[in-house]
C-alpha cells in the first residue's frame, strides 16, 4: 500500500458550489433509480421472453448488467459526498472503486465490439447467422471480454497506486479515476501517462476502428436490401448501437487518452459525471425506444402482470 495515504483521499467534486451539490444529489438519485429499473427491465425481458432468446438480446442483457455494476460502484459514494460535508474515501475503498470501474469499463468497451460483430453477421451473412452466433460462442465472447477487462484493470490499478502522491491528498473529482490520481502525483508521471495513452488506444481507438469497419460493411449490405421495412429494421438496430458506442467512447476518450490536457483537467469531472450517471440510463432507453421487439416484449410482460393481478 502507498504509505503516503494511511487514511484515504478527499474527493472535492463540486464542493465549492454547495447549492449545486444539493441539486446534483437529487438529480443523481432520480437518474440512479431510473437506471436500476430500466436495466433490470432489459435483463428481465431478455431472460423471460422467448422471442428475445437471440444473441443480440443476450449481449444487450450483459450490457445492462455491466451498466448496473458500473453505476452501483460509483453512485453510492458520489451521493455520500454530494449530501454531506464528509468528502473522504478510504484508501482501500479508492483502490476497489478504481479497479472495479476500470474492469467494467474495459469489458464494456470490448462487448460493444462483440455487439457490432453480431450485427455484421446478422445483416451481411443472415443465412449463416444462427450457425455462426451459437450460444457457446456467445458465452466465449463474453468471457473473453471479462478476462481482458480484469487484466487491464489489474495492470493499471497496480501501476497507479505505486506512484508517490502529494501530501494534500485532494482529488478534483467525484470518484477515484486514474487521470485525477495522476494529477496528484509529486513526481514524473510520463511513463504512467504513456501507459494510460497506450491502454486507451488499445481499448478505445482499436475497438472504435473495428466497429466502424463493421458498420461500413453493414451500410453496403443495407443498401442492397430491397425491402424498405427490412432496411428500416436493420438501420434502427444498428443506429441504436452506434449511438451507444459514440456516447461511451467519446466521453471516456476525452478523460483517459491524455490525463493532463486542459480539457481533461478542467472538465474531466463533468465527463466522469456523464458516463457514470447519464450513460448507464441512456443505454437501455436508446435500445427500448427505437426497438419494436423490446417494446412488444415489455407490453406482453405488463399484460401478463395485469392478468395475474386480476386473478
Write out the three cell numbers for 61.
Answer: 442483457
pTM of the shown model:
0.84
Can you tell me whether residue 144 is helix, strand or coil? helix
Cβ burial, residue 254 (10 Å; 0-12/13-18/19+): buried
Asked if residue 2 is part of any domain, the answer here is no
- CA angle centred on 253, ends 251 and 256, rounded to 5°: 110
For the ranges 118-132, 194-208, 231-245, 278-292, the maximum mean pLDDT occurs at 118-132
Any domain includes 142: yes
User: Does residue 247 fall inside a structural domain?
Assistant: yes
Q: How many domains does the chain have?
A: 1
Are 60 and 287 in contact, with CB atoms under 8 Å apart? Answer: yes
Which has more pLDDT, 234 or 53?
53
Residue 192, domain CATH: 1.20.1070.10
Q: Supply the range of the domain harboring residue 194.
A: 9-310
226 domain-assigned: yes
Length of the chain counted residue by residue: 311
Establish if 62 belongs to a structural domain: yes
**Per the domain annotation, does 4 fall within a domain?**
no
pLDDT digits (tens, 9 = 90+) for 71-106: 998 888 888 888 877 788 888 888 999 999 889 988
Residue 139 has pLDDT above 90, yes or no: yes
Residue 257 C-beta-side C-alpha neighbours within 13 Å: 14
- Per the domain annotation, does 3 fall within a domain? no
Question: Is residue 1 in some structural domain?
Answer: no
Which residues are paired to 89 by β-bridges?
A: 9
Amino acid at each position: 500500500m502507498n504509505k503516503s495515504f494511511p487514511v484515504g483521499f478527499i474527493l472535492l467534486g463540486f464542493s465549492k458550489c454547495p447549492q449545486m451539490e444539493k441539486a446534483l444529489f437529487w438529480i443523481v438519485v432520480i437518474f440512479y433509480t431510473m437506471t436500476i429499473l430500466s436495466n433490470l427491465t432489459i435483463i428481465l425481458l431478455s431472460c423471460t421472453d422467448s422471442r428475445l432468446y437471440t444473441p443480440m438480446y443476450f449481449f444487450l442483457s450483459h450490457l445492462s448488467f455491466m451498466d448496473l455494476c458500473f453505476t452501483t460502484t460509483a453512485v453510492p459514494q458520489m451521493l455520500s459526498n454530494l449530501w454531506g460535508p464528509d468528502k473522504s474515501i478510504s484508501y482501500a475503498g479508492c483502490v476497489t472503486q478504481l479497479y472495479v470501474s476500470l474492469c467494467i469499463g474495459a469489458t464494456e468497451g470490448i462487448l460493444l465490439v462483440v455487439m457490432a460483430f453480431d450485427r455484421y453477421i446478422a445483416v451481411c451473412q443472415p443465412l449463416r447467422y444462427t450457425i455462426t452466433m451459437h450460444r457457446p460462442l456467445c458465452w466465449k465472447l463474453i468471457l473473453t471480454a471479462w478476462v481482458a477487462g480484469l487484466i487491464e484493470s489489474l495492470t493499471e490499478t497496480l501501476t497507479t497506486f505505486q506512484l508517490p502522491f502529494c501530501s494534500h491528498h485532494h482529488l478534483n473529482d467525484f470518484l477515484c479515476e486514474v487521470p485525477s490520481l495522476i494529477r496528484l502525483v509529486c513526481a514524473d508521471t510520463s511513463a504512467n501517462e504513456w501507459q494510460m495513452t497506450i491502454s486507451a488506444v488499445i481499448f478505445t481507438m482499436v475497438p472504435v476502428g473495428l466497429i466502424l469497419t463493421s458498420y461500413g460493411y453493414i451500410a453496403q449490405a443495407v443498401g442492397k436490401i430491397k425491402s424498405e421495412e427490412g432496411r428500416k429494421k436493420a438501420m434502427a438496430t444498428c443506429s441504436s448501437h452506434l449511438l451507444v458506442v459514440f456516447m461511451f467512447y467519446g466521453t471516456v476518450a476525452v478523460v483517459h487518452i491524455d490525463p493532463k490536457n486542459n480539457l481533461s483537467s478542467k472538465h474531466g469531472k463533468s465527463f466522469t459525471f456523464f458516463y457514470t450517471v447519464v450513460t448507464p440510463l441512456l443505454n437501455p432507453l436508446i435500445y427500448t425506444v427505437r426497438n419494436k421487439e423490446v417494446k412488444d416484449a415489455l407490453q406482453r410482460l405488463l399484460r401478463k402482470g395485469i392478468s395475474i393481478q386480476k386473478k
